[in-house]
Structure 1
Amino acid sequence: MKKLLYLIFAALLLIIIGFGALFFLIDPNQLKPTIADQVKKATGRELVISGDMSWKIFPRIGFSLGETTLQSPPGFAENFVQFSNAELDLALMPLLSHRLEIGNINLKNAHIFIQTLADGRSNMDGMITGKKEAEEKQSTSAETAEKAPWDIILQGISLTNASATIRNDKTGDLKTMSKLNFSLDHFSPGEWSKISFSLSATSNEITVSSSGQTGIFIAADLGEVKLKKLHLETSATTPEIQIESVRIDLDQFTVGQDGNLTFSIKGKKRDLDFASKGSTKIKSDRAFNQLQVTGLQVETNLKGDALPKKKLNLILKADSNYNVEQSLLTIPSLEADIEQMIIKGKASFKDGRVRQIRFNMSSESIDIDQLLGMNKAKPAAKPSQTGPEVKATISDQEPDLSALKQLDLIGTLAVDKFKARGVHVTDVLINLKIQKGIAEISSLAANLYKGSIKARVKINSNNRPATYLAKKEIVGVDARPLLMDLADIKMLEGKAKVSIDVAGRGLSQKKIRSNIKGTVDLQFADGAIHGVNIPKMLREAAAILKGEVITEKEQGELKTDFSSMGMTLTLAKGVAKTNNLKLISPLFIVKGAGETNLVKEDLNFLLKTALAKELQGQEAEELRSLRGLEIPIKITGTWQMPKFSLSLEEIAKEKAKQEIKRGLEEIFGKEKEGEPVSPERKILQNLFN
């Protein structure tokens, strides 16, 4: 027994003497050339250890490495890696049991500099050993591990004041990270550890500060990773957006299990404040390729002068699945509540150079005017004290359609009730497609004002300014409520049939009105023109022709009924013209021509009214003096305030022409179609015209 104790004591003594010789007889700085040589063989880079190396004896064996630099090749602005101090220690006795116990690894003031030159060369080029050599080393390590498996325990890792710079001279990008502090308090496979970090980073004009902590578990076979009590906080600033805070909390994350995630964000963009909060459950497969998000609920509040109503509330609910390999987000269930307007459906989004979006959405009611704060009652118009009415300014601002070129979008939207710019529409079905900068509503069908509409619209944003074309068919619509809601025009009523075929360049209000080309065919049945009483005007004209003095104008509603009215408008150069206006009523027939300026919204039409041939009874007797005449009526003013006038001078001229014609017929007889006019008749006609 004593001999055994002596042997053990002798062995311990030899070990102590050996380590004593290591610490006291061998200067670790003598190892610098060897270490530098091995690093150069592995990386092709020069390692410069300018600080002192020293041994650590108690409580564990280890060493401390002073200021060290791993240089970049010639031509680069900074060294690849540098740090001011590094410390590492490990326990000796566990090594005999194939147990590697590493103490704290401390790295101070570490800095990594990665640069890509304008010619494409990087200071990282050539640092990775050949594939064959790496595979051989990996194979040897695997065989060794199989023969003698090791348990690894790491007491902790700490990075203090680390930083990094990524510079790309080819693109001009510059990203920096500073004040990185990282700590891992304990690491042993099969046991829980804690990680915490903080950092600041900039990328061009973006600045980010972030901090966080989490518990982490790595299985003994290194095949599973778990997280618990994850907490992250971030703030960021850009030239346009200031994100005051982003907070993320996750109770746990285990492959194949749901983790409860909560988050919030608060910030400001110019004069718009935004705040959002939400919660969801997340789950991933073992390959981390499929990420499921279920029960997502997000509430967002927007406030600011940039919003029409100064505030907006949005609630979003969804289930989704994200495929990392395909960059594909699938949303089988989506519900958005925008100011109590609910939109439901499904969608998908695939990221890439061109973002692919597919959707199928529906809603019971969408009120754009409510979102824009336009549902409030309009104040009564005050009479002008200084002159004619002042029209609203027509915008010349073109919309920004640049995003259309990065979209590949195909979708369908169905809405039971829809309202925009005062127009009420029901049973809306829209098929929308955006591809290669071209947006197209391939079909739009809806019911409005007791009628229906079908339309196709195409916008090409590749042109400057954008071009468009539109074809619409509106059938059986009550014209007056539609025109009143659309443009506050009250002058027409009746069942309308409208065919529109137009095209143009420019999408601002002013350019649409100025550059639109095409035709609009209007047909009205069983309607009326408000603001004018043509029968009353005809009776007044007849009385004047008979020499009667009108002391008091006939009272009556300013309204003219008709059985049909139609015209074709030709649109060009900001003007809508017609030469085939025709109105038919039991009392008279109106034919006319004229134009309206689409920018100025003024009217300039001349109507010629003739009594109906079948007119009989009291009306025929009162208007007998007008029979055979075309009574001219002028329409001037604006769309909102049209003016109708009857020219007595023109009526007198028409009456005189009628009498002259009757006299010539008594002298020369009626003109026969196709026969030349006699010289005598022509002279008299020219004399009296």
Structure 2
Amino acid sequence: MKKLLYVLIGIIIVVVLGITALVTLVNPNQFKAAIAEQVKKQTGRELDIRGDINWRFFPTLGLSVGETTLNNPQGFAQPNLIQFKQAELSVSVLPLLSHELDIGKVRLDGAHVFVQTLKDGRSNLDGLTEKSSTKEVNDSTPSKANKDAVSNVQDEKSTASKVTTQPWKISLAGVELINASVDIINDKTASNIALNKVNFTLDKLTPNTWTKATFDISGSANALKFAAKGSTELSLSSAYQLAELKNLDLSLTAQDGKTEIKHAQVTLDHFQYGQWATVNLNIDGQLPELAFVTKGQTQFKLSSDRNILTLENLSIDNALSGKALPRPKMQVNIKTNASYDLTTKTATLSKLNLNADELALMGDVSFINRDVPVIRFNLSSDNINVDNWLNKQHGQVSSEKPAASDQAANNASTEIAASTAQQTSSQSASNTPPAIQEPDLSVLKGIDVDGTIMAKKFTISQAHLSDVKLSVVIQNGIAKLNSFTANLYKGTVNASAQLNVNTPLASYQFHNQIKGVEIQPLLEDVANNKQLAGRANIIVNLAGKGLSSQHLKNNSTGTINVNLTDGAVYGVNISEMIRSAKARLKGEKLADSQKQKKTDFSSLTALLQLGQGQAKIDNLHLVSPLLDINGSGTTNLNNESLNFSVDTAIVASGKGLDELKGITVPIRIKGTWQQPKYQLDLKNLFKQNSGLEQKAKKELNRGLEKLLGDKAKDEKIKNVADQLLKGLFN
């Protein structure tokens, strides 16, 4: 026992004496020049160790290095690529005998890294690896003089390889990074990333063993300032690659003057390649005129080859508020499964369920990240009401019509608002009046879209459609509505269109066919107009340039072919107008008519020709059992005025109209779309009907005889009657 004790004491004394001799006899600072020289050979950069290099021998053998810098080449914004105030590294000696590399805690204080890419593409990282790799290639190529030596070494290695070598076991007591900073500048892209505070700690690190890491980082990315801190536990494989991660807890804040992330929290339970993990997300933020609170959860998996990221049961709930929304507050929820393929840069959303308040969309979406993004979708909905989201003040629509005074006040407010908007616009970069201001559709030039949307119910401009299906394609700045089909007021609609935004004024083509649609409820919903009824068959072919309201009215050309059956024109009873005219001719008292003011017809056809801001009709034709009407005229699309002439022929006998069968009665229609005015054109009545004037004179004279007796034959009375007749019909 005593001998063993003496041996141990001797070993300890030898070790102590060896360390003492090492510390006292070997000054590590004498290696500064040699270290700098080797760095110069490997990188071409100057290494400057200004601080002292000191031995550390308790509890492990190591070194402490003072202030050190590795410089940049000339022409970069900062002189040093890397610099630090203090670095410490230690290694346990005895475990080395057992092929164990036991590294103590690595500590780095005040480290700063500066990386810059110049406008010409040069970087201060260039050459750091090239010299090293070149040297390795040169060293690996034996000269002729050393071929024999190399051959002998290879023989020795071949012999040694037959002996089983014990693998090294490496462990790290920990890492501590204190007050580090990083600057990454790219002059080509005008980007600037600055990490002005980086604190990082890592507990003891051994393969296949859990260790804890904490971090606290703050900095900026261009105008965005951010701060993040958190902790996690990780485990490395025997090859010292990340194998597992658990209990991640990350909090983040960010702002750039326009956007603010007040608080963001991300948690992850357990991550392992090829295995499912659960992530929770909470964000409270503010965008310009939009505040949001987002909560999300998903299970995700990164494939073992690290190429495919899969999300299942992704659920994101957004509470939104602000002026940027069509409503003061909105609730937008998303549920879907998703995946992203890193090799093809393809993202897919399957079983998508998007809810924005009462709007719900379901389907599949895919996105390929290319120079021109590729978007594909197939969506459906039970009910889409476009009016709830467009041109509505916070989505609220009053069903009551305004009183006249209220309407006047609204008009005055509108004029004031328009005046204010015009003044504001004149002070801005663009002075284009809203009526001719074109929408910015340049985004259509940079996307590739192909998709379909189906809706059981669809509302737009107060028109109600059902069983809607549309197919859209956007490529190379050309948007095509390949097909649009729907049921519309007991009929059907089928449309197609094309929009080309590659020209200064966007050009468009539109084709629409309506079959069997009840026109009165459609007009009542769309235009609050009940003046026309019937079952409509309409074919529309239009083309033009410009999408502003003024360009649409003035530049649209094409035809609208209208065919209405079994209908009526409300607001005018042509039969009663003719009866009244007949009564006036006979001098009879007009009877008060209790009939509704409408003119029934069995068919109504018209061909509208659009151009130069007008719609022209040459062949209006209305057929009814009593009347045959032909008309022509124009309407101005800008002021909505009417100027039509309609010739009405009595084609059948009717109450009070027996004597007028075969007579054509002209009617003038003026006014506006909302308030048309109908007037019997008596001046042309006699021009179009020979002998009618004589009948009128005869009836007038007969009435005068009844009234005046023999005095009616007096020449003066006859002259007065003639003047009265001319004044009546001219």
TM-score bracket, normalised by the shorter chain, equals 0.7 to 0.9
Q: Which residue of 1 aligns with 2:52?
A: 52
Once the two structures are superposed, residues 15-54 of structure 1 have per-residue CA deviations (whole angstroms, 9 ceiling, x without a partner) of 4333223222333222211111111222221111222222
Q: Which residue of 2 aligns with 1:382?
A: 403
Secondary structure of the residue aligned to 1:497 is: strand
- Could you tell me how far apart the structure 1 residues matched to 2:695 and 2:220 are? 92
Once the two structures are superposed, residues 609-648 of structure 1 have per-residue CA deviations (whole angstroms, 9 ceiling, x without a partner) of 2222xx1243433646xx53432222312x2232323344
Q: Which among 519, 531, 536 is matched to residue 496 of structure 1? A: 536
- Could you tell me how far apart the structure 2 residues matched to 1:334 and 1:528 are? 47
- Could you tell me how far apart the structure 2 residues matched to 1:604 and 1:137 are? 97
The answer on whether the counterparts of 1:605 and 1:636 sit within 8 Å (CA) in structure 2 is no
AA paired with 1:194?
Answer: K
1:382 Cα offset (Å): 1.6
Secondary structure of the residue aligned to 2:525 is: helix
The answer on whether the counterparts of 2:199 and 2:217 sit within 8 Å (CA) in structure 1 is yes
Q: Which residue of 1 aligns with 2:206?
A: 188
The answer on whether the counterparts of 1:271 and 1:304 sit within 8 Å (CA) in structure 2 is yes
Q: Which among 277, 286, 290 is matched to residue 259 of structure 1? A: 277
- Could you tell me how far apart the structure 1 residues matched to 2:524 and 2:600 are? 18
1:308 Cα offset (Å): 2.3
- Could you tell me how far apart the structure 1 residues matched to 2:612 and 2:226 are? 53
The answer on whether the counterparts of 1:40 and 1:47 sit within 8 Å (CA) in structure 2 is yes
The answer on whether the counterparts of 1:397 and 1:508 sit within 8 Å (CA) in structure 2 is yes
Q: Which residue of 1 aligns with 2:711?
A: none
Change in Cα spacing, 1:555 to 1:7, as seen in structure 2 (3 Å) is same
The answer to whether structure 1 residue 204 and structure 2 residue 239 are counterparts is: no
- Could you tell me how far apart the structure 2 residues matched to 1:105 and 1:131 are? 27
- Could you tell me how far apart the structure 1 residues matched to 2:691 and 2:179 are? 103
Task: Report percent identity of matched pairs.
Answer: 39
AA paired with 2:637?
Answer: L
Matching of residues 169-318 of structure 1 within 5 Å: 169-222=187-240, 225-318=243-336
Change in Cα spacing, 1:291 to 1:549, as seen in structure 2 (3 Å) is same
Q: Which among 501, 506, 510 is matched to residue 466 of structure 1? A: 506
Q: Which residue of 2 aligns with 1:68?
A: 68
The answer on whether the counterparts of 1:262 and 1:279 sit within 8 Å (CA) in structure 2 is yes
Structure having the higher helix fraction is 2
- Could you tell me how far apart the structure 2 residues matched to 1:517 and 1:161 are? 70
Q: Which residue of 1 aligns with 2:657?
A: 620
- Could you tell me how far apart the structure 1 residues matched to 2:615 and 2:644 are? 11
Q: Which residue of 2 aligns with 1:669?
A: none
Q: Which residue of 1 aligns with 2:722?
A: none
Once the two structures are superposed, residues 111-134 of structure 1 have per-residue CA deviations (whole angstroms, 9 ceiling, x without a partner) of 211112222211111111454655
The worse-fitting range, judged by mean Cα deviation, of 429-438 and 12-21 is 12-21
AA paired with 1:54?
Answer: N
The answer to whether structure 1 residue 126 and structure 2 residue 127 are counterparts is: yes
The answer to whether structure 1 residue 589 and structure 2 residue 636 are counterparts is: no
TM-score normalised per structure 1: 0.88
1:449 Cα offset (Å): 0.5
Q: Which residue of 2 aligns with 1:160?
A: 178
AA paired with 2:627?
Answer: F
Change in Cα spacing, 1:389 to 1:40, as seen in structure 2 (3 Å) is closer
Change in Cα spacing, 1:395 to 1:269, as seen in structure 2 (3 Å) is farther
Q: Which residue of 2 aligns with 1:611?
A: 650
- Could you tell me how far apart the structure 2 residues matched to 1:270 and 1:6 are? 80
The answer on whether the counterparts of 1:496 and 1:524 sit within 8 Å (CA) in structure 2 is yes
Matching of residues 382-401 of structure 1 within 5 Å: 382-383=403-404, 396-401=436-441
1:279 Cα offset (Å): 1.0
AA paired with 1:577?
Answer: K
The worse-fitting range, judged by mean Cα deviation, of 383-392 and 476-485 is 383-392
- Could you tell me how far apart the structure 2 residues matched to 1:494 and 1:620 are? 26
Secondary structure of the residue aligned to 2:96 is: helix
Q: Which residue of 2 aligns with 1:81?
A: 82
- Could you tell me how far apart the structure 1 residues matched to 2:3 and 2:302 are? 62
- Could you tell me how far apart the structure 2 residues matched to 1:660 and 1:388 are? 55
1:250 Cα offset (Å): 0.7
1:368 Cα offset (Å): 2.3
Q: Which residue of 2 aligns with 1:20?
A: 20
The answer on whether the counterparts of 2:354 and 2:360 sit within 8 Å (CA) in structure 1 is yes
Secondary structure of the residue aligned to 1:618 is: coil
CA-based RMSD of the aligned residues comes to: 3.2
1:500 Cα offset (Å): 0.9
Once the two structures are superposed, residues 627-675 of structure 1 have per-residue CA deviations (whole angstroms, 9 ceiling, x without a partner) of 53432222312x2232323344554666689649999xxxxxxxxxxxx
Q: Which residue of 2 aligns with 1:630?
A: 665
TM-score normalised per structure 2: 0.83
The answer on whether the counterparts of 2:200 and 2:214 sit within 8 Å (CA) in structure 1 is yes
AA paired with 2:74?
Answer: P
Change in Cα spacing, 1:573 to 1:110, as seen in structure 2 (3 Å) is farther
The answer to whether structure 1 residue 521 and structure 2 residue 561 are counterparts is: yes
1:486 Cα offset (Å): 1.8
Secondary structure of the residue aligned to 1:403 is: helix
Q: Which among 621, 643, 647 is matched to residue 677 of structure 2? A: 643
1:364 Cα offset (Å): 2.0
- Could you tell me how far apart the structure 1 residues matched to 2:438 and 2:520 are? 31
Q: Which residue of 2 aligns with 1:559?
A: 598
1:384 Cα offset (Å): 5.6
- Could you tell me how far apart the structure 2 residues matched to 1:640 and 1:77 are? 71
Give the gaps of 5 or more residues in structure 1. 664-687
The answer on whether the counterparts of 2:669 and 2:676 sit within 8 Å (CA) in structure 1 is no
The answer on whether the counterparts of 2:468 and 2:487 sit within 8 Å (CA) in structure 1 is yes
AA paired with 2:653?
Answer: Q
- Could you tell me how far apart the structure 1 residues matched to 2:579 and 2:571 are? 17
1:251 Cα offset (Å): 0.6
AA paired with 1:383?
Answer: A
The answer on whether the counterparts of 1:609 and 1:633 sit within 8 Å (CA) in structure 2 is no
Secondary structure of the residue aligned to 2:564 is: strand
Change in Cα spacing, 1:172 to 1:261, as seen in structure 2 (3 Å) is closer
The worse-fitting range, judged by mean Cα deviation, of 341-350 and 490-499 is 341-350
Q: Which among 617, 642, 655 is matched to residue 578 of structure 1? A: 617
The answer to whether structure 1 residue 569 and structure 2 residue 608 are counterparts is: yes
Give the total of aligned pairs: 658
AA paired with 2:605?
Answer: G
Change in Cα spacing, 1:135 to 1:314, as seen in structure 2 (3 Å) is farther
1:371 Cα offset (Å): 4.4
AA paired with 1:512?
Answer: L
Q: Which residue of 1 aligns with 2:350?
A: 332
Which runs of at least 4 in structure 1 moved beyond 4 Å after TM superposition? 1-12, 130-141, 143-146, 371-375, 384-397, 647-663
Secondary structure of the residue aligned to 1:125 is: coil
Once the two structures are superposed, residues 264-304 of structure 1 have per-residue CA deviations (whole angstroms, 9 ceiling, x without a partner) of 22212222111211111111221111222111111112112
AA paired with 1:68?
Answer: T
The answer on whether the counterparts of 1:432 and 1:441 sit within 8 Å (CA) in structure 2 is yes
